[in-house]
Structure 1
Amino acid sequence: MEIQVTKLRELMELFKPVVPKKSAIPITAYIRLSEGKAIATDLETMVIADLPEVEEPMLLPYASLADMLKYVPGNESLKIEVQNKKVSLVWSGGTANYPTEAVQDFPVLPEMPTTTEGTIDGDTLIAAMLAALPYVATDETRPVLSGVTLVLGSPIEVAAGDGFRMSHQVLGLSFPLEAKIILPAHAVRILGHVFAKTPRTPPSSADSLIPIITAKRQLHMALTGENKVRVDFGRTASVVINLIQGTPPEWLKLVPKGEPMLQSQLFAPQLEAAVKRVGSIAKDGKGIVRMVFADGNLTVSATGEDQEISATIDTLNTQGEPGRTALDHKYLLAFLSGKQGIVILSKYEDSSPLVFQYQNSPRVLIMPMFVQWDDEKPTVAEKVEPEPET
């Protein structure tokens, strides 16, 4: 097999997130070449790339090969051969030899029936799933919360939540089957990586440059086997994902209904600066920041042991004043990070989650923190001295 170094280097970069750095199954440290394809897997997600240069089946050690290719000129032609459990690489400026394993030991994807398939706007879908990632649960006590939920049908919805926060977005997309599937968080990151590393296929019937530039990138998605989804990125690559088993929460039922009792429009950078200003003391006070809305202003405050700090900013528009709430400052900062425009905060009930909306980003819900406000503190009863006995 002969291949240009640049092309093989790009293949290594494409496979980077799917090849485990450490694994109890050593075979997953290799990539498989066979039948014009290159394959890498972590046993939960498989990435398949088109590689017509492949002639004979072989396994290549990913880490060793990726490191070696950093120091070989990209325009070199690389000859790769396998013999006696050794893979040899030869180019005009050098050679390299690495141990390999039997090709048949590498896990293969069996033939699986397709339940339903359809074409989807990849620009919209991938961006929405990546935006939901910060809200998935990081522990494994509830597996259904450790991934991103796709509510398929018309329209498609994307949701994620960890029990304290939740992200929900309705997309202007459709899929020919109504179903709910949960993609592991790591698999979503792999989808985003492959989407970024594979070329866009321009529309074949464009009569000018503008439709080519503005065209949405179409992906082919299919539900296959018992619990898998396959996403094809044109003819260059495919990703096959083992879905998380189980039933996701009824996300829409968690969203407050009706008219908010308090709603405020705020400039995100100002709010972020105010929260950061009180952040150090908030950490000493269970991570809580208090937010009080009155007279067109928002006062953000935090209390710690023998410490108190506050910052006041203008609101752009607030309805339902006076009002107040308290939030975990890390969750609030995570939502505000990178936002440069106007955010809308809505409160429906004291015990219901606060709803945040920013432009076309997902709607985010954050559970409030329960605090005792100054006017709720019980008054100290006046001590009554007993009358002396006579």
Structure 2
Amino acid sequence: MKFRVDRDVLADAVAWAARSLPVRPSVPVLAGLLVEASHEGLVLSTFDYETSARATLQADVADEGRALVSGRLLADICRSLPSKPVEMVLDGARVSLTCGSARFSLQTMPVEDYPSLPSMPAATGTVSSEAFAHAVAQAVTAAGRDDMLPVLTGVRLEIDGSTISLLATDRFRLSHRELGWDPRSPDDTVAALVPAKVLGDTAKSLTSGSEVTIALSTSGSGEGIIGFEGAAAGGTRRTTTRLLDGEFPKVRSLFPSEHQTVATVSKQALIESVRRVSLVAERNTAVQLAFGDGQLTLDAGSGDEAQASEAIEADITGEPITTGFNPTFLLDGLTAIDGDKVELAFTQASKPVVISAAPAEAEGEQARESDDAAFRYLLMPRRLLS
């Protein structure tokens, strides 16, 4: 194996492929990055039996071949190389890497022990890469991080014709995002539970090209795989991951159809106020929000401890209401919402609030309004200290 490749193209592709390497691999070869050179170019791959990454890029290949080397070490080396072409040569059990006057020699791992990457399922459809990355970033806000509840660490991806819905919850909050896409079959209706971390990292990393291809394969036994592919500098990027097994809770019904109190406030003013007031909130205690008389009053702290209070303007329709929320969860939802103003809709103080972008006020904002309205964040209240 011998090839020559642009330093920036190689460093970017190696870093992308190595990002999904396991921290504690079950077997040593899973810490490796597979380098394959052929007359078609260069292919860099990683796989841990759950998630695979495959980057193709252009290179001047003198001799075909393949080698398995430490992925994290190669990424560190490529990141530090000078801005000159890189040459890699396989010589026996070692790979030599030359870039300008810098030279490295890497020990290889047994290629024959490396597992075969799963095949990409048939394409289900395509979606704008920027729109998909933004929608996923909003949806994963509410995904669980407790591995003891694996179903809640996923995002439920529902495909219904030309619409994709993304749902995530950790039992204390719920996110719902919809976006349009171009399906291969307009009559398809399918759902999958995708690991939130993989989905978030992948969507964010595939924005170099204009669109992302989504390929989904499910089976009645719960086994399934989803793949994502997009263009990148000098080639393409492809990720596959196994779907999570289990029944995602039926959460859509949690969004109420009617509201008794609706408040519209400046998003940035509310974010800044919550951040200030929550400085005195003890761990696991709520920040109180009182809506009434044209303003929202935030309070935190109690008794002999530090206390804080602040009021901001609010446009309120309906009855006055006082409730409280985990400030971190509240800020997560607010920062995920687009637009300058947010709408907080309540049924009663002991029930969840639904937070979304406020409707656009001008015709010029009509296009943005439809996108903003596609994201809703539901947050459970916390008990207020007396």
TM-score by length of 2: 0.83
Deviation at 1:368, TM superposition (A): 0.9
Shift of 1:349: 3.0
- Give aligned pairs, total: 350
Q: Secondary structure at the match of 2:212?
A: strand
Q: Percent identity?
A: 25
Residue in structure 2 matched with residue 250 of structure 1 by the alignment: 250
What is the letter of the counterpart of residue 184 of structure 1? P
Uncovered stretches (5+) of structure 1, i.e. residues with no partner:
201-216, 374-390
Aligned to 1:131: 138
- Cα distance, 1:193 vs. partner? 4.1
Q: CA deviation at 1:150?
A: 0.7
- Taking the TM superposition and a 5 Å limit, the aligned residue runs for 1:136-285 are 136-154=143-161, 155-173=163-181, 175=183, 176=185, 177-196=188-207, 199-200=208-209, 217-224=210-217, 226-234=223-231, 236-258=236-258, 260-283=259-282
> Does 2:43 align with 1:37?
yes
TM superposition shift of 1:119: 2.3
Q: CA deviation at 1:25?
A: 2.4
Kindly indicate whether residue 48 of structure 2 is the aligned counterpart of residue 58 of structure 1.
Answer: no
CA contact (8 A) 1:291 1:299 kept: yes
Indicate the structure (1 or 2) with the bigger Cα radius of gyration.
Answer: 1
Residue from 51, 55, 59 that aligns with 1:49: 55
Q: Are the counterparts in 2 of residues 14 and 193 from structure 1 also a CA contact under 8 Å? A: no
Of 359, 365, 373 in structure 1, the residue corresponding to residue 378 of structure 2 is 365
Deviations 1:200-235 (A, max 9, x none): 2xxxxxxxxxxxxxxxx2222212374101112146
Q: 2:297 aligns with which of 282, 296, 299?
A: 299
Shift of 1:252: 1.2
Is residue 109 of structure 2 the alignment partner of residue 101 of structure 1?
A: yes
- Deviation per CA, 1:98-135, whole angstroms, max 9, x where unpaired? 21111121121245764x62222332222211222221
Q: Is the 8 A contact 1:267 1:341 kept in 2?
A: yes
Aligned equivalents of 1:90, 1:323: Cα separation in 2:
67
Report how far residue 89 of structure 1 moved. 2.4
Indicate which of 75, 81, 97 corresponds to 2:84.
75
Q: Which runs of 5+ in 2 are unaligned?
A: 359-371
> Secondary structure at the residue paired with 2:180?
coil
**Is the CA contact 1:81–1:89 (under 8 Å) kept in the aligned structure 2?**
no
Is 1:130–1:188's contact at 8 Å kept on the other side of the alignment?
no
Describe the superposition over 1:66-96 as per-residue Cα deviations: whole angstroms up to 9, x where unpaired: 223344322234132141x222224552432
Closer, same or farther: CA 7–302 of 1 in aligned 2, 3 Å: closer
Query: Do 2:321 and 2:349's aligned partners in 1 also have CA atoms closer than 8 Å?
Result: no
Secondary structure of the structure 1 residue equivalent to 2:264 = strand
- Quick check: which one's strand share is greater? 2
Q: Over the residues paired in the alignment, what is the CA RMSD in angstroms?
A: 2.4
Whichever residue aligns with residue 277 of structure 1, its letter is R
Q: Would the aligned equivalents of 1:30 and 1:62 in 2 still touch at CA under 8 Å?
A: yes
The one of 325, 328, 340 equivalent to 2:326 is 328
Closer, same or farther: CA 100–341 of 1 in aligned 2, 3 Å: same
Deviation, structure 1 residue 298: 1.4
TM-score by length of 1: 0.82
Are the aligned partners of 2:35 and 2:67 in contact in 1 as well (CA < 8 Å)? yes
